[in-house]
Amino acid sequence: MAISTLAANTSIRQNRPSRPAAAAKEQQAPAPQDTFVHPDSTGKIQHLVLQLDGNATPQIRKEVEGAWTKLFKNMDSDVNFTITLENEKDRQGVRDLIEREQIPNPERFNLLMTDDLNITMWARDQMVGLGNVSGGNTLLGQTTMRPHGDDELLPPRIAASIPGLGFDPDKRLQTDGGDEVSNPNETFLGYASLYLTAKRLYEADQAEQGKKSPLTPFDKSLRLDYSEGLNSPDFKFSTNLFKSAGDDLPQQELYLSRALDLFEQKFGHKVTIIGDDDPSTPIVEKPATFHMDMGMTPIDSNKILVGDPSIAVAAVNNMSPEERADHNARINSALGLPAQNDTLGELVQESTVNEPDLQHNFDVNARKVAGEGYMIDRLPYLQGPPGRSWVTYNNCLMESYTRDDGSKVRRVFLPTYDLPILDGIAKETYEKQGFEVIPLNLAALTSWRGAIRCISNVLDRKVTDEQTPVAA
């Protein structure tokens, strides 16, 4: 039976309780009311943040630097980059890359040293870039769901290094930048982000009232499983053994509503929650991916690409023995595995037998956004066990804009895996939508559960007047 404690989310938008007056006290650093989250596909990227983990393996470092090179060469020559680095050797390495590849306007690269911190390459999660309708940009340094290294200490340093960039340290929000994807009018947010933020608001109120309870309404159904190494922490739903489902539901719903209000205030438009349980089904639905950007991509205001394991599984199963051996040899080379290892079989196993509800959860996500009025297309997707690639074509960077000379740009920096059949399906899907596809081979990087969107963050994106969100 589906866990009924999650059912409260179904009425959050339809019957939202009034925000208590005490909520005004929670604001730590009020953001301007005209802020909006930068859309993922619309407009031209003006400023991009990257970062490099000094402990990255040689193969991953090679892939990341190859991806950076394509960004530097293919984006317009006026795009600014802020790159955070752990040591002088890496800083000199970036300088050498810029010189070797003859990247124009090297003065637009802000190389920020963080030699006192242990950082990762995941530039996306610890902050969210916000634009202001009145002009300028703000960096939101929220509380992360999955802390890694000292990354959560980076946002104020980045903000301080960029003239005119505002900083909003609103720790009430508990989310990762990878758990939201946006078009100009709407953000799609993972249910875990809403749930953990609601729990955070509830616990803050309890502390203010001098109350302390070992068990809150938010401990009933969402559990954080944290494992070190190649596996990022995951969120799983489970039944609370100490309280019956149904206890404290009105209170839980109240704080879920307050959390949604807060996200909409910060992001400047409608927020739709993805991955909440449908109590009418026997399956406990959850987000299909640990971050939204691994499996969902708004490509404009009307269409969304959603991952689909069945496409990838069918493509693998339809390969000839020779094709399968060739594809395995290719991806094994990137992962440092024996050529004969059946990595494709392991990916299929993980995405079907080991995760039997994965296809269902993806289909639920697709139906939900279709019900919001969006056109849907599907992309191949395969989930990897530890040490194996996560074959996602959703985790990309996109631009769509018109230059001053009238030429139009619509391009996607697309992760690929040296898997010609699967890469080809994804490439054709984006090309049908009018994108120029710039492939980035990231097979080894995704064994760490992230691709190009995960290792970058947009601080500024130029949109036309028609594309600019209107203040809520």
Q: Does residue 311 sit within a domain? A: yes
Q: How many CA atoms lie within 13 A of 403 on its CB side?
A: 9
Q: Does residue 351 sit within a domain? A: yes
Give the pLDDT score at 246. Answer: 52
Q: Does residue 211 sit within a domain? A: no
Tally of CB atoms within 10 A around 48? 23
Give the pLDDT score at 19. Answer: 33
- Residue 436 DSSP one-character state: E
Q: Does residue 414 sit within a domain? A: yes
- Over the chain (472 residues), the average pLDDT of each successive run of 10 is 32 40 36 79 97 93 97 97 96 97 97 95 96 91 90 96 94 96 96 93 90 74 59 62 54 91 96 89 87 97 98 98 98 96 98 96 96 97 94 98 94 98 98 98 95 98 62 39
Return the exposure string of 383-422: e unless at least 16 CB atoms fall within 10 Å of the residue's CB, then b. bbbeebbbbbbbbbbbbbbeeeeeeeebbbbbbbbbbebb
pTM, rounded to two decimals: 0.90
**The amino acid at 398:** M
Is the CB of residue 287 less than 8 Å from the CB of residue 193?
A: no
Give the pLDDT score at 163. Answer: 93
End-to-end Cα, the chain, rounded Å: 39
Q: Does residue 158 sit within a domain? A: no
Q: Does residue 358 sit within a domain? A: yes
Give the pLDDT score at 219. Answer: 74
Segments forming the whole domain that contains residue 371:
305-447
Q: Does residue 347 sit within a domain? A: yes
- The total number of structural domains in the chain stands at 1
Nearest in space to 451 (alpha carbons), one of 181, 57, 180, 64? 64
Q: Does residue 94 sit within a domain? A: no
Q: What are phi and psi of 165, to 5 degrees?
A: -85, 120
Using DSSP, state whether 347 is helix, strand or coil: helix
Tally of CB atoms within 10 A around 99? 10
Give the pLDDT score at 236. Answer: 72
- Rounded distance between C-alpha atoms, residue 135 and residue 137, angstroms: 7
- Rounded distance between C-alpha atoms, residue 388 and residue 335, angstroms: 7
